[in-house]
Each structure stands twice: as structure tokens, then as C-alpha cells.
Structure 1
Amino acid sequence: MNKWRFAISRRWFGYLAVAIVFAIVCVLLSNWQLARRAEKTSEIALVDDNFDAQPVDVTEVLPELSSFDPGDEWRPVILEGTYLAEEQVLVRNRPRGGQPGFDVLVPFRTSDGNVFIVDRGWLPTGNEQDLPDVIPEAPSGTVTVTARLRPGEPTVANRGAGDGQIATIHLPDLAERVGEPTYTGAYGILADESPAPVEPRPASVDRPVPDEGAHLSYAFQWLIFGILGFVFLGYAVRQEYRALNADDPEEQRRAGLREYKRRQRRTDADVEDELLDATAPRP
């Protein structure tokens, strides 16, 4: 026991405290990764439950203009009314597949007089200008629209946009722009409209691809890092023990045994080198 007395010192207790703090940090980071994974799995479950659900009237899901339940994201709703084509705007900086482009937003006045913002789809940036080459017109007259609900986006500081464009889908700003009672809790991504438009519609939004990410493996890695901190501490204690007891006969015997075993562990390359030396022609 006296040989290990060096480990009961302020220095080694300090190292132990560092290892404990490191392990606690690793556990916290592991829990954070697990929480991130739980968020991802919840998002995937939400898409699975809502994306292909039976459409319902918009007033059933959004009883108030400002109301929105996050559990209803991606849920299809039905609206009947007319597009306000003169209020159409483009949302800048909407890349897809590595290509820059725009989302086309068209306010839609429902039969009860309220306005609902419809994202009719995506258009690529033109070859000659920072605008789509062609912007298809929304159908005129009375239209029945099916759209999937999405929450509005926050404002982005110091990000401007040109005439007829916006930088982010901030619904209160759009409501102010339209100047009529407008849904500000959610907007809709177009899924279908009847009658069908004469011109081809902008590219529709694809179903989100389920992807949990690597959060679970990262969580296990952080736990392993926390354990390795104690393993390294134990190794350091052992190395100092050997250094302090190098003159001890028992420790010398153990050191000799370790060296013997090391020499016995020959690699395949060592064996091949010996065979080549043995068969090489002598001068």
C-alpha cells in the first residue's frame, strides 16, 4: 500500500477532479445529442402523421387568424376563394438541389373574406437576371385550394429585398402588405388547386425525407470519451508507479516479463522479413 501512497496527494486529487468534470461535461453533451435525436424523431413522426392526412376545412385547424398548433404542421387544409394575383410576392434565397431560386407567394381571399397566404411553389433563378425567367400566373376566378400548413418565419435583420420580393415569410409583414384580415399563425404550401391552372405550376414541395442524423452515435461517443478520461488517469497513475518503483525487484521482474511478451508478439511482416533473410543468396 505504501507504494501507492504517492497517488493520495493534492496533485492527483486535482487530476481526478478534472476527470470527473470532463466526464460530467461528456454526459451533458451526450444528453444534448439524445435530445436532438428526440426532436428529429418527433419531426419525422409529425410528417408521417400529417402529410397524407385527409384534408379538412381551414377553419377547423385555424379557428383564429393568429392561431396555430405546431402539431398541425404539414396537415392539409381546404380553402375556397380567389387568388389576389396583384399581391403576389417572391421569397428570395430559396435554394433547391444546389440551385438558387424563389418561392412564389400568392395571397388567397377565402369565401369568408379572410386572406390566407399560399406558397404556390419554387422557381429557379433565371440565366440572364436575378429573377425567374417565367412566373406562372395563379388561376383566376373561384378556386378550391388544398395546402399543407407551415408556421410563419421570423424576421431576419439586415436582409433586404427588391420590389415585389421579401427576404422571409414573416406573416405579420405580409398581412400589413395585403391590408386585409390575414392568417398570421400559419401559411400553406400548395398541394392541389381546382380548376387546374393553364400554365404549369411552380415546382411543388417534396415530402420531407426522414433523417434522424447521427445524434445517437454522437451520444455514445461522448459517453466513451467520458470513460476514457478515467482510463487515461489510471494509465498515468500506473506509469508513475512504475517510474517510482523501478528499483523494486518485483517491479523489475514484471518489467522483464512485459518486455519478453512484447518481443514474442511478432507481426506477419517480421516473419516475412526473417524468411526473406534466410532464403536470400549469400555473396
Structure 2
Amino acid sequence: MTDSKTAGWRFAFSRRWLGYLAFAIVFAIACAFLSNWQLARSKEAAAANALVTQNFDSQPVALADELPTLGSYSPKQEWTRVTVTGTYERDQQLMARNRPFNGNPGFEVLTPLRTADGSLFIIDRGWVPTGNTTDAPDHVPAAPAGTVTVVARLKGSEPAIAGRSATGDQVGTIQLSVVKQKLDGADVYTGAYGLLDTEDPAPATAPTPTVTSPPSQDEGLHWSYMIQWIIFALIGFFGLGYALITEYRKLNSHDPAEQARAAERDRRRRAKRTDSDVEDELLDATR
């Protein structure tokens, strides 16, 4: 006979079941945080896509208007097209190493462009492959001589990468503070550099452009993951409720009212059985 202390729903207020409830609540809170995080990621992806759409093919504006100081730059300016006229300092050209392109190792060519006020704006003129015999390109197409007008897309200075360094005319990343040191402390734009779009006059040969079309604007599966975390939280409470009802039925199996409900549930299950289910039961019984 069932202990009278466990009859009815009183067992649900035991320490064990209150612990289960607390665990379900903590699990649901964790799922809510993860769902909200996915929502934030989705909004970030949407904002990044909107930025690309707005800036990538924007009308070029003067570099000095977009970057009024050498250190100016906001992430919202990424991909904005700027125009600047000057002369390439071809003898101060640098190479950014470890820059794969289409699965091949190589370098990106960084050529300082001296502007009318004497400052240097770094132009990433494109990619060249690693040489056959040395850790350097076999050939780098020369930048145009004389005055040139450049249209470029802004990119922020890159961070340093632990363990990646370079010597001579090479840099480990396009970290503009390091580029400035390589150029002996000249007046260098350190907030942003430019990915070459066009230059006039155009050279006969040039490095391979690294960006010719807008970056992928796939927002990912953040919305799906957000909904999944909500479903997981609901499943947690559903599982708790199912376990609670199952134990109630077990502990109260002696109660006439519960016995009547169990008989009704059994009758409904039997009513839902198909002929195939009956045949399967008969076959199992004869084995």
C-alpha cells in the first residue's frame, strides 16, 4: 500500500522534486541567454550586410573628408570608397606575408601613396604568389610612376597575431602602427588603409585584386538556433511535467479514481490499435 505521505500531489513538494524544478528553471534561463545571444548575432550579421550594401559601391569621396586625421576611422566606414591623388613611394613598398588567395600562399603588396600634404596612405594593391625558391615573390608588378589618382575601399588596421612576425620589407599583418615603424615614423594614416579599386593611370600589369565583389552577405542560421534554444527550454519543462505525472500515477495506483482513469487511458489506446498492431501482437505471442 502506498505511504499516505506520498498520496495525491504532496510528493511534488518534496526536496527531490523542488530540486528538479530548480534545475529546469536554471536550464530554461541558460537557454534564454543562448537564444538572446543568437538573436544578437543575427542582428550583427544583418548590420554587417547592410554596411556592405551601403558602402561597397558608394560614390567615392575625398580621403581627407572621410578621414580628417591620420588616426581617424570607424568600423562603420569599412568598404567606403575614397579617392586620393598622390605619388607612390615605390622604394618603400612592403609585403604582408601569409596571405592566402584561392587556396594559394602569397603576399599582399602594400605601397605608400604620398598625398598632397606629405602624409602616406597605404594602398593594398593586390596579391602576388610566393616565389619558387625563396620566401618572397618572384616578381611584383611596379606601381605607376608619377602622379596617380586612386580609388580605394577603406579597411581598418589589422591586429597583431601572436607568433606572426616579419623582417625586412615584410609585415606579419597589416597593422598600421607597425607599418609606420617600418617607414621610419613618417606621417602615416594609422586608422585605415585602402584596398585598391582603380588607379589612373593604370599600369600595364598589376597584382591580382583581392576583392572584386561584395563579401558574402549570408546571415547564417542564427534565427534557427535562437528558436531551437527556446524549444529546448520548453522541452525541459515538458519532460519535468511528464515525469511528474508518471510518478503521480505510480504512487496513486491504489486510488479508485486513478484506477478508473488508467482504465480509460487503456481503453483509448486499444481503440487506436490497427489490425496490423493486433497481428503483430499475435505473432509475438506465438514466438
Mapped to 2, the partners of 1:199 and 1:109 lie a distance apart of 21
Which deviations, in whole Å up to 9, do the C-alpha atoms of 1:229-269 show, x marking residues without a partner? 1111101101111221223333334334434444554579x
Instruction: Look up the equivalent residue of 1:240 and give its one-letter code.
Output: E
Question: Match of 1:281?
Answer: none
TM-score, normalised via structure 2 length: 0.87
Instruction: Look up the equivalent residue of 2:194 and give its one-letter code.
Output: G
Question: Match of 2:119?
Answer: 114
Question: Match of 1:150?
Answer: 155
Question: Match of 1:184?
Answer: 190
Alignment of 1:1-283 (within 5 A): 3-126=8-131, 130-179=135-184, 180-205=186-211, 206-265=213-272, 270=276
Instruction: Look up the equivalent residue of 2:239 and give its one-letter code.
Output: F
Q: Is the 8 A contact 1:136 1:202 kept in 2?
A: no
Mean CA deviation greater in 181-190 or 4-13: 4-13
SS at match of 1:40: helix
TM-score, normalised via structure 1 length: 0.88
Shift of 1:48: 0.9
SS at match of 2:247: helix
Mapped to 2, the partners of 1:240 and 1:109 lie a distance apart of 80
Which deviations, in whole Å up to 9, do the C-alpha atoms of 1:120-141 show, x marking residues without a partner? 1123445665444432221111
Instruction: Look up the equivalent residue of 2:50 and give its one-letter code.
Output: A
Which deviations, in whole Å up to 9, do the C-alpha atoms of 1:4-54 show, x marking residues without a partner? 111012221111111111111111111111111111111111111111111
Instruction: Look up the equivalent residue of 1:73 and give its one-letter code.
Output: E
Flag structure 2 segments of 5+ consecutive residues without an equivalent: 1-5
Q: Is the 8 A contact 1:123 1:203 kept in 2?
A: no
SS at match of 1:168: coil
Shift of 1:196: 0.6
Instruction: Look up the equivalent residue of 1:34 and give its one-letter code.
Output: L
Q: Is the 8 A contact 2:92 2:112 kept in 1?
A: yes
Mean CA deviation greater in 124-133 or 152-161: 124-133
SS at match of 1:198: coil
SS at match of 1:154: coil
Instruction: Look up the equivalent residue of 1:186 and give its one-letter code.
Output: A
Identity %: 52
Mapped to 1, the partners of 2:245 and 2:39 lie a distance apart of 35
SS at match of 1:35: helix
Instruction: Look up the equivalent residue of 1:35 and give its one-letter code.
Output: A
Mapped to 2, the partners of 1:167 and 1:183 lie a distance apart of 18
Instruction: Look up the equivalent residue of 2:40 and give its one-letter code.
Output: A
Shift of 1:164: 2.6
SS at match of 2:219: coil
SS at match of 2:145: coil
Which deviations, in whole Å up to 9, do the C-alpha atoms of 1:159-200 show, x marking residues without a partner? 123543211111011011112100001100000001011113
Mean CA deviation greater in 259-268 or 168-177: 259-268
Q: Is the 8 A contact 2:171 2:179 kept in 1?
A: no
Mapped to 1, the partners of 2:30 and 2:173 lie a distance apart of 37
Shift of 1:207: 1.5
Mapped to 1, the partners of 2:273 and 2:127 lie a distance apart of 64
Which deviations, in whole Å up to 9, do the C-alpha atoms of 1:104-161 show, x marking residues without a partner? 2111111221000111112344566544443222111111111111110111222123
1:70 and 1:261, CA in 2 relative to 1: closer, same or farther beyond 3 A? Answer: same
SS at match of 1:157: coil
Shift of 1:204: 3.5
